Chain A
């Protein structure tokens, strides 16, 4: 057996790390960020951005930006993306400051409410203008949250797709088969937070791990690039005797992977295998062979391997891929609710205008990355139209040339200021009743307990701003 590490692993020096910032926007974003930080995050900075000061105050992030001091006055955006957007515009300078000096920016938001939906695309745009590579992590609301939230989320997702280099989109409905709305919305969101946290942290690791075979930005973007598609993500870790098999099985079990079934249809799959110094080549081989049974012959594998001392005896597998928007997603999108809000034409109606924007110009960076051959698929609009590149076998992949990193230089699509038409707002009013503010949890159906001007349904430790944990 070949001991990979002894020969190839590089000492981990801070200078090698890419400056990554994780910017969370809105209530859901902040909750997910707390989870990320609590679960342990290294090699990335975090920033919390929100209109709601109460939620900001309770965030564990060290760097916080309050949006819309005069537009929203410390209160939330009240579920209105227009307000969220205006608040962000008001605080543009502070956002720019928070974004500065990052090469890669992850924008995290729960879409559907006001701040996340309205401000996140704008934050992504500013991040892009600052010259960073932007990947958005976004959640779409549970269907029980009502049509209005879902419509707002779809609209925001469309905008994110326009300004970000990649979007990892989580459909709350699909995130856990265990969490039904009856199980309590807190549990549902807590489960979602865990999944988001795991994804963000493993993507950070994906990029920051000094690779034997390094995964680059472009590998990641290539794997994610299916405009408006569904992101497939899986992560597994094991330290058992059969750790390669177990880690992969676990990764495929991830709800965002639909138990591995969906991988079969993916055009590109990014896989990173990481382990401590004890990781062997044969383990990697076994793992890749096993993965081969879940994907088609046509699927292109973007492979990376890394040795990470922090893993000890553990071996981890991260899988990122995406699927093209499927038929029912499209038909769902063209329902009347959507067409009554025509300001932002859905992407699939004009794939040829959109896809060139996704193209990334290469520019050398003081870093490594990818194979030029894998760059071309950026021009395609749908996987069916591609001529699939030859499948990369795991072993040859080890001979991949030293990667080069590219930075995008596309012009972001301007965020349109959209005044809701009378007809639309009437509809919105009707549908706002379908979903109570998400933070009310157990007290959803009851009258809020407001005493001396304070909402006592909000946990005491939050209102007293006492950090627990």
Chain B
């Protein structure tokens, strides 16, 4: 194999592990050759808590993907999640030497390095430095400064960093299989690649990926990433709430949530009941539909409100012309778009990957946004820059505007 245009995305999610094999076409599109999947074990809140078990699951998913795509998998792009991920915006600055006034590639590299010369906690590592805008001699909104004349080059970056050991843990899990890790990518950033068009990014949009263990979010304004993060709340919390509130086992709660759950209140007949089918001593238990929906509603409402408070610490949320896109498995919950619309006071809708060709129907599911997004991310990175060696996992740059 070793075909340069093969790209593999791996998401070690809290509920499922997903491997997507994609092929980059000369016309810039991506063809999905196959998707491997296995239920996830040993992962909580987007992070590996049981190494051996998680590794076994990743192996299974990889084998599954190899069989479905008929491709030998050697290296992967891996998604990263977890509440340890933090982000901030920072400006870097370089002055050109007296005897030169044309900005070149080296200056652009330097300004990125400068932008990262900020202190992050010693135990943390940079995951992404994403360029927002350049400024040349105080002129704002420069997209490509190379070749421009000026003395002072400044650049705004969105920087994502996280606990080094946690990130390494994920990398180690893949490397021990053994597979090479091409790159590690924040899950929310990957999802946004398939959820948002460039036009939406320019208008301003918020992507919320609610999975089993985490809610990843990423906000674009004016075409650039302005805010991002990961809240360790996901579908597992909803299921757990249901389990405790209705006193039914987790497995049944999960089923109930998926089959009957909704976050819309006041939509049932008064006293409308759901009959749980018989299964080891819980025969004929009846559950009030409104109670189930209330439990779900309260959790999602709280999560959205928490996210809103976080985003409101900066002004960008006021510039979202394209509104909100919700993805991830939990976006399948009935009424979630209405709830988000109500809380954020702007249009929100559910979205999933659509742009690709290949096994489309199978992947048109919001649960796969992150894994397919990794392929799109890989494609963009690979066309953006010459093939690069492994080993730039930390301290890498992300040059284009994603």
Q: Which residues of A contact B (CB under 8 A)?
A: 35, 38, 178, 183-184, 186-187, 190-191, 193-194, 441-443, 445-447, 449, 451-452, 456-457, 459-462, 464, 466, 468-469
Chain B residues contacting A452 (CB-CB under 8 Å) are: 306
Chain B residues contacting A441 (CB-CB under 8 Å) are: 240, 243-244, 250
Give the Cβ gap from B128 to chain A, nearest Cβ, in Å. 23
Stretch at the interface among B218-226, B229-237, B393-401: B229-237
CA distance A443 to B195 in the complex (A): 29
Asked whether, in the complex, the Cβ of B294 is within 8 Å of the Cβ of A456, the reply is: no
Q: Is the interface of B mostly helix, strand, loop or mixed?
A: helix
Say which residue of B240, B247, B281, B302 sits within 8 Å of A443 (CB atoms): B240
Chain B residues contacting A190 (CB-CB under 8 Å) are: 247-249
Chain A residues contacting B45 (CB-CB under 8 Å) are: 443, 446-447, 449
Chain A residues contacting B44 (CB-CB under 8 Å) are: 442-443, 445-446
CA distance A157 to B236 in the complex (A): 36
Asked whether, in the complex, the Cβ of B250 is within 8 Å of the Cβ of A178, the reply is: no
CA distance A193 to B249 in the complex (A): 13
Say which residue of A191, A193, A442, A449 sits within 8 Å of B233 (CB atoms): A449
Chain B residues contacting A442 (CB-CB under 8 Å) are: 44, 236, 239-240, 250
Chain B residues contacting A38 (CB-CB under 8 Å) are: 247
CA distance A191 to B249 in the complex (A): 9
| Most chain B beta carbons < 10 A, residue from A441, A451, A457, A460 | A460
Contact A461:B298 (CB < 8 A) given known A186-B244, A456-B237 = yes
Give the Cβ gap from B179 to chain A, nearest Cβ, in Å. 25
Q: Is B288 an interface residue (CB 8 A)?
A: yes
CA distance A446 to B302 in the complex (A): 21
Asked whether, in the complex, the Cβ of A468 is within 8 Å of the Cβ of B240, the reply is: no
Q: Is B90 an interface residue (CB 8 A)?
A: no
Question: 6 closest A-B pairs (Cβ-Cβ)?
Answer: A446-B44, A187-B249, A459-B241, A460-B298, A445-B49, A449-B232
CA distance A333 to B45 in the complex (A): 40
Give the Cβ gap from B54 to chain A, nearest Cβ, in Å. 12
Asked whether, in the complex, the Cβ of A468 is within 8 Å of the Cβ of B47, the reply is: no
Residues 1 to 59 of chain B near chain A (Cβ within 8 Å): 44-45, 47, 49-50
Give the Cβ gap from B84 to chain A, nearest Cβ, in Å. 9
Chain B residues contacting A178 (CB-CB under 8 Å) are: 280-281
Chain B residues contacting A460 (CB-CB under 8 Å) are: 241, 295, 298-299, 301-302
Chain B residues contacting A461 (CB-CB under 8 Å) are: 241, 245, 294-295, 298-299
Chain B residues contacting A443 (CB-CB under 8 Å) are: 44-45, 236, 240
Closest to A176 in B: B281
CA distance A400 to B1 in the complex (A): 90
Chain B residues contacting A456 (CB-CB under 8 Å) are: 232-233, 237, 302
Say which residue of B213, B231, B249, B295 sits within 8 Å of A451 (CB atoms): B231
| Most chain B beta carbons < 10 A, residue from A183, A464, A469 | A469
Give the Cβ gap from B114 to chain A, nearest Cβ, in Å. 33
Chain A residues contacting B237 (CB-CB under 8 Å) are: 449, 456-457, 459
Chain B residues contacting A451 (CB-CB under 8 Å) are: 231, 306
Q: Which residues of B contact A (CB under 8 A)?
A: 44-45, 47, 49-50, 83, 213, 231-233, 236-237, 239-241, 243-251, 280-281, 288, 291, 294-295, 298-299, 301-302, 306
Give the Cβ gap from B131 to chain A, nearest Cβ, in Å. 30
Asked whether, in the complex, the Cβ of B299 is within 8 Å of the Cβ of A459, the reply is: yes
Asked whether, in the complex, the Cβ of B50 is within 8 Å of the Cβ of A468, the reply is: no
Asked whether, in the complex, the Cβ of A459 is within 8 Å of the Cβ of B295, the reply is: yes
Give the Cβ gap from A170 to chain B, nearest Cβ, in Å. 16
Asked whether, in the complex, the Cβ of B241 is within 8 Å of the Cβ of A446, the reply is: no
Give the Cβ gap from A82 to chain B, nearest Cβ, in Å. 29
Give the Cβ gap from A178 to chain B, nearest Cβ, in Å. 5
Given contacts A184-B250, A442-B240, A443-B236, 20 further A-B contacts (CB under 8 A): A184-B249, A186-B249, A186-B250, A187-B250, A190-B247, A442-B44, A442-B236, A442-B239, A445-B50, A446-B44, A449-B231, A449-B233, A456-B233, A457-B240, A459-B237, A459-B245, A460-B295, A464-B298, A468-B294, A468-B295
CA distance A464 to B245 in the complex (A): 13
Give the Cβ gap from A237 to chain B, nearest Cβ, in Å. 12
CA distance A156 to B233 in the complex (A): 38
- What would be 12 A-B contacts, judged by CB atoms less than 8 Å apart? A184-B243, A186-B244, A190-B247, A441-B243, A447-B45, A449-B237, A457-B240, A459-B237, A461-B245, A461-B299, A462-B244, A464-B298
Give the Cβ gap from B365 to chain A, nearest Cβ, in Å. 23
Chain A residues contacting B243 (CB-CB under 8 Å) are: 184, 186, 441
Give the Cβ gap from B292 to chain A, nearest Cβ, in Å. 9
CA distance A33 to B264 in the complex (A): 30
Asked whether, in the complex, the Cβ of B49 is within 8 Å of the Cβ of A446, the reply is: yes
Chain A residues contacting B302 (CB-CB under 8 Å) are: 456, 460, 464
Chain B residues contacting A445 (CB-CB under 8 Å) are: 44, 49-50
Give the Cβ gap from A29 to chain B, nearest Cβ, in Å. 15
Give the Cβ gap from A27 to chain B, nearest Cβ, in Å. 12
Asked whether, in the complex, the Cβ of A449 is within 8 Å of the Cβ of B83, the reply is: yes
Chain A residues contacting B248 (CB-CB under 8 Å) are: 190
Give the Cβ gap from A182 to chain B, nearest Cβ, in Å. 11
Asked whether, in the complex, the Cβ of B250 is within 8 Å of the Cβ of A466, the reply is: no
Give the Cβ gap from B5 to chain A, nearest Cβ, in Å. 38
Closest to B50 in A: A445
Closest to B291 in A: A468
Asked whether, in the complex, the Cβ of A469 is within 8 Å of the Cβ of B244, the reply is: no
CA distance A462 to B294 in the complex (A): 12
CA distance A38 to B248 in the complex (A): 14
Chain A residues contacting B288 (CB-CB under 8 Å) are: 469
Asked whether, in the complex, the Cβ of B294 is within 8 Å of the Cβ of A466, the reply is: yes
Asked whether, in the complex, the Cβ of A468 is within 8 Å of the Cβ of B245, the reply is: yes
CA distance A183 to B252 in the complex (A): 11
Chain A residues contacting B231 (CB-CB under 8 Å) are: 449, 451
CA distance A242 to B299 in the complex (A): 47
Give the Cβ gap from A256 to chain B, nearest Cβ, in Å. 14
Closest to A449 in B: B232
CA distance A469 to B233 in the complex (A): 24
Closest to A183 in B: B249
Closest to A456 in B: B233
| Most chain A beta carbons < 10 A, residue from B231, B249, B301, B306 | B249
CA distance A443 to B83 in the complex (A): 14
Closest to B302 in A: A460
Chain B residues contacting A464 (CB-CB under 8 Å) are: 298, 302
Closest to A193 in B: B247
